[in-house]
């Protein structure tokens, strides 16, 4: 299998390889019959078959990352063991792995986080392995999402107790079973997992940390002195105050004095603790991280940076490598510091050092992630390395094969995280459902999709709603972004709400295109929330013309019957159609006339020529409007002319009627809209955690009625008006779908 893949890769390596020191090979994975997912790889598959490696690997994870690891294992000839929960029995990672063991029911705490069950699987599979004289190793390729309680944690983190202690326990148990853990050793994980300790270590390794002072400040003059030492702007707050509470930003001495006055008062009165925290304030920070790779022989490399500034609720959405912002000097400085830190903690395996970078290219250490990260593919694309392969090699004890000088930046790679979520609700609230249609844009060049789902998969409330990571590669940023646009347009996802519209808007936004981004990009660009693509006049005409042409094509087809009926079918002599199209808040008269296979459409007095194959069954429709090629998706249609079309990433709802029908429709009765103030519907699928009212209770506006938990987020549902509770349709522990009626008020 691996050998075949290699041959294919070598034969198909059309890309000029000379530019890169390592040939960047595209390889379409040959999938066995059991594996229905194919994926194009954008990293090296160079593998020395003589190099001894592990015989069998257990992948303690699910979804796309499990699939990603299995792919590399297949190439390296390593047998794989997948673990899964009962609802995941049909999951792609289970089908791809050589063996699969169920470790418990759907909730992660009972399955993927169930250490006992996983240890049991390790023992069980090892029992077989012993007879085969195989060594087993347990890989914990677990993603770490920034500060969120990621479900991908192998060991769950609750605010109350850190995962580290438990992780140590797991590592100890692995060690006692003689099982190798693919990743850094325990002390590095421990050191980097602790915020304070990691900062101290970083300081010791001469890594830039955010300069600051934490202690009792005597008076305003001392505060000014400290602030000057740190350099403006600075942030002043009471040490005891959590988060950003009572935080003040000072840009000069005057503001520092003022800040000192308020903060020290607050510190004394609110917390009874005089200590103040004065820290460098990082204005418009970018989140840039350095990928490092280290072996057990003291060698360490930095594999360039990843720009991850586009975030929502501290979760990354769009990542790219390299960053538009770094110059070679800054990059080298960051890389060298990252390597210094890795060496200082005797780090082995792949890791990521996260930095905040301010507008003057000063960078400050944030934290180090001791895991393979979600966005690792962009690094693989520009360096040509397979990080998973390198991690496995390092775990086996091999030294690194590359020197720092061998690490190129060839081309540009962009990654979009495609989520099953509704981007119109605070940039993404989870959505669930069954993928009734699913088609990855792998027919396009230089596109890589890392996914762990397939047509028919369920996106459930139990796990992360990520559908896939869509990565495009180009010789430069513009090319990579252009390909991303096309890839997003050609991505077919039906059955769940997805965030393609947001992703596409981000990558074409002028600020993003110029590289003018920060972690506040989304709230700055969409202060009132994301509303979808705003059509220009030209785009609106294109959409109207396309929709009208589709309607006419459909009408014409419905008059074509095969065979010869007893009563002849009257052939329509009609060549022109007068239509009325309702789009957003406008109604547009549209005239369509047919010339052969193309349509001439008049909108707003302007004629457009629309050509296409008019294949009405294909999920993707390529349309040429006056020479501009567009890939659109018609998501639904009905007899009444209601059509929803995905155009430029955003889904538009249109109603197309003949002129006569449109004129008559004004006589149709308006349907009374549901009074939404007296009913509470679930805004997303999830589980009811608590219901705080019962029928007959009087609630006041803004009072909490119940709490819905979805994807580990607790959402408080509040009353929209004051009233008496008429009926409660849910109870704690219930699973509810989006739009389900929860509570009715009188």
Partner 1 sequence: VASAVRVSRAPAQPHRCVTEQAGKKGESRCISPRGCRKASLRRRCPGARPRRGERGKLTARERILLLLDPDSFDEYDMFVEHRCSDFGMDSDKNKYPGDSVVTGRGRINGRLAYVFSQDFTVFGGSLSGAHAQKICKRNVLCSGVVPQISLIMGPCAGGAVYSPALTDFTFMVKDTSYLFITGPDVVKSVTNEDVTQEQLGGAKTHTAVSGVAHRAFENDIDALLNLREFFNYLPLSNRDPAPVCECHDPSNRLVPELETVVPIESTKAYDMLDIIYSIVDEREFFEIMPFYARNIVVGFARMNGRTVGIVGNQPKVASGCLDINSSVKGARFVRFCDAFNIPLITFVDVPGFLPGTAQEYGGIIRHGAKLLFAFAEATVPKITIITRKAYGGAYDVMSSKHLRGDANYAWPTAEVAVMGAKGAVQIIFRGKQTDAEAEYVDKFANPFPAAMRGFVDDIIQPSTTRMRICHDLDVLASKAQSNPWKKHANIPL
Interacting residues with partner 1 (CB under 8 A): 36, 86, 89-90, 434-436, 438, 454-458, 557-563, 565-567, 569-572, 574, 615-618, 638-641, 657, 660-661, 664-665, 667-669, 671
Minimum separation from the CB atom of position 333 to partner 1 (A): 50
Q: Which neighbouring-strand residues pair with 277? A: 214, 237
Minimum separation from the CB atom of position 662 to partner 1 (A): 9
- Pair 621, 632: CB distance under 8 Å: yes
Nearer to partner 1, 52 or 560 (CB): 560
The Cα–Cα gap between 275 and 634 comes to: 61
Query: Can you point out the beta strands (E) in 15-55?
Result: 26-28, 40-42
In three-state secondary structure terms, 250 is strand
Angle, in degrees to the nearest 10, between helices 163-176 and 186-193 = 180
- Between vectors from CA 47 to CA 392 and to CA 415, what angle results, nearest 5°? 70
Q: How many other CB atoms are found less than 10 A from the CB of residue 45?
A: 23
Q: How many other CB atoms are found less than 10 A from the CB of residue 23?
A: 17
Place of tokens 């470790």: 103
CA nearest neighbour of 442 among 22, 2, 31: 31
371 catalytically annotated? yes
Q: Which neighbouring-strand residues pair with 592? A: 577, 601
Minimum separation from the CB atom of position 555 to partner 1 (A): 8
The secondary element (H helix, E strand) that includes residue 534 is none
Place of tokens 């010869």: 564
Nearer to partner 1, 26 or 95 (CB): 95
Minimum separation from the CB atom of position 190 to partner 1 (A): 40
Minimum separation from the CB atom of position 671 to partner 1 (A): 7
In three-state secondary structure terms, 625 is strand
CA nearest neighbour of 262 among 248, 279, 242, 281: 248
Nearer to partner 1, 52 or 666 (CB): 666
b vs e for 90-122, b when ≥16 Cβ sit within 10 Å of the residue's Cβ? ebbbbbbbebbbbbbeebbeebbbbbebbbebb
Place of tokens 């060549």: 575
Q: What values do phi and psi take at 499, rounded to 5? A: -105, 20
Of the candidates 371, 393, 504, 630, the residue annotated as catalytic is 371
Place of tokens 């970083």: 202
The Cα–Cα gap between 574 and 173 comes to: 78
Nearer to partner 1, 36 or 268 (CB): 36
Nearer to partner 1, 52 or 671 (CB): 671
CA nearest neighbour of 78 among 96, 90, 64, 65: 96
Minimum separation from the CB atom of position 476 to partner 1 (A): 37
Nearer to partner 1, 563 or 605 (CB): 563
CA nearest neighbour of 736 among 677, 676, 689, 679: 689
b vs e for 718-735, b when ≥16 Cβ sit within 10 Å of the residue's Cβ? ebbeebebeebbbeeebe
User: What is the signed CA dihedral for 448, 450, 455, 461, rounded to 10 degrees?
Assistant: -150
The Cα–Cα gap between 197 and 113 comes to: 26
Q: What is the largest distance, in Å, between two alpha-carbon atoms of the chain?
A: 102
Reading the block at residue 726, the tokens are: 């008429």
Length of the chain: 746
The Cα–Cα gap between 572 and 567 comes to: 15
Minimum separation from the CB atom of position 113 to partner 1 (A): 22
CA nearest neighbour of 542 among 658, 445, 625, 637: 625
- Pair 356, 366: CB distance under 8 Å: yes
Minimum separation from the CB atom of position 566 to partner 1 (A): 6
- Pair 267, 367: CB distance under 8 Å: no
CA nearest neighbour of 640 among 654, 622, 625: 654
Which active-site residues does the annotation give? 371
């Amino acid at each position: 299998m691996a050998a075949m893949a290699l041959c294919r890769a070598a034969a198909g390596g059309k890309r000029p390889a000379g530019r890169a020191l390592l040939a960047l090979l595209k390889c379409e994975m040959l999938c066995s019959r059991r594996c229905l997912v194919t994926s194009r790889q954008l990293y090296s598959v160079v593998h020395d078959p003589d190099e001894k490696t592990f015989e069998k690997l257990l992948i303690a994870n699910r979804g796309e990352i499990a699939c990603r690891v299995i792919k590399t294992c297949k190439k390296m000839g390593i047998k794989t063991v997948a673990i899964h929960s009962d609802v995941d029995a049909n999951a792609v990672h289970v089908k791809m792995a050589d063996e699969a063991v169920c470790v418990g029911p759907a909730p992660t705490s009972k399955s993927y986080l169930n250490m006992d069950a996983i240890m049991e699987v390790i023992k069980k599979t090892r029992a077989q392995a012993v007879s085969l004289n195989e060594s087993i190793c347990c890989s914990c390729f677990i993603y770490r999402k920034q500060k969120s309680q990621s479900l991908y944690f192998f060991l769950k983190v609750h605010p109350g107790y850190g995962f580290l202690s438990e992780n140590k326990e797991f590592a100890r148990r692995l060690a006692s079973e003689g099982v190798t853990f693919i990743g850094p050793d325990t002390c590095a994980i421990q050191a980097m997992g602790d915020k304070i300790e990691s900062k101290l270590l970083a300081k010791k390794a001469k890594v830039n940390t955010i300069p600051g002072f934490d202690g009792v400040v005597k008076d305003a003059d001392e505060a000014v002195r400290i602030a000057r030492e740190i350099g403006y702007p600075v942030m002043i707050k009471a040490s005891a105050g959590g988060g950003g509470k009572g935080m003040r930003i000072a840009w000069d001495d005057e503001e520092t004095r003022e800040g000192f006055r308020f903060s020290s008062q607050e510190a004394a009165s609110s917390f009874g603790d005089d200590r103040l925290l004065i820290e460098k304030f990082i204005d418009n920070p970018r989140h840039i991280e350095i990928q490092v790779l280290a072996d057990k022989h003291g060698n360490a490399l930095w594999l360039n940076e990843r720009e991850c500034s586009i975030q929502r609720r501290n979760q990354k959405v769009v990542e790219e490598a390299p960053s538009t912002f770094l110059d070679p000097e800054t990059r080298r400085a960051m890389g060298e510091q990252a390597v210094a830190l890795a060496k200082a903690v005797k780090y082995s395996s792949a890791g990521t050092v996260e930095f905040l970078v301010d507008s003057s290219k000063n960078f400050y250490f944030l934290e180090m992630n001791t895991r393979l990260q979600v966005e690792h593919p962009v690094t693989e694309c520009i360096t040509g390395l397979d990080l998973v392969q390198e991690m496995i090699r390092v775990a086996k004890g091999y030294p690194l094969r590359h020197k720092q000088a061998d690490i190129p930046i060839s081309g540009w790679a962009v990654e979009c995280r495609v989520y099953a979520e509704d981007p119109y609700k605070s940039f993404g609230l989870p959505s669930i459902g069954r993928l009734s249609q699913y088609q990855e844009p792998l027919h396009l060049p230089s596109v890589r999709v890392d996914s762990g789902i397939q047509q028919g998969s369920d996106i459930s409330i139990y796990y992360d709603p990520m559908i896939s990571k869509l990565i495009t590669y180009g010789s430069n940023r513009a090319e990579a972004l252009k390909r991303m646009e096309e890839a997003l347009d050609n991505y077919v996802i039906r059955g769940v709400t997805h965030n393609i519209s947001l992703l596409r808007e981000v990558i074409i936004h002028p600020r993003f295109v110029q590289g003018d981004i920060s972690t506040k990009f989304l709230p700055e660009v969409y202060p009132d929330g994301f509303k979808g693509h705003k059509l220009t006049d030209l785009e609106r005409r294109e959409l109207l013309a396309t929709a009208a042409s589709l309607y006419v094509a459909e009408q014409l087809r419905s008059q074509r019957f095969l065979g010869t009926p007893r009563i002849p079918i009257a052939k329509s002599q009609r060549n022109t159609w007068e239509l009325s199209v309702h789009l957003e808040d406008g109604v547009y008269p549209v005239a369509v006339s047919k010339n052969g296979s193309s349509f001439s459409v008049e909108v707003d007095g302007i004629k457009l020529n629309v050509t296409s194959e008019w294949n009405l069954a294909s999920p993707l429709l390529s349309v040429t409007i006056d020479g501009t090629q567009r890939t659109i998706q018609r998501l639904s249609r009905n007899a009444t002319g209601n059509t929803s079309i995905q155009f430029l990433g955003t889904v538009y709802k249109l109603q197309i009627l003949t002129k006569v029908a449109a004129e008559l429709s004004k006589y149709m009765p308006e349907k009374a809209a549901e009074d939404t103030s007296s009913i509470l519907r679930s805004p997303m699928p999830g589980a009811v955690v608590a219901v705080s009212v019962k029928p007959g209770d009087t609630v006041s506006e803004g009072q909490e009625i119940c709490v819905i938990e979805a994807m580990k987020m607790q959402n408080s549902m509040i009353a929209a008006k004051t009233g008496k509770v008429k009926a409660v349709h849910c109870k704690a522990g219930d699973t509810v779908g989006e739009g389900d009626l929860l509570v009715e008020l009188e």
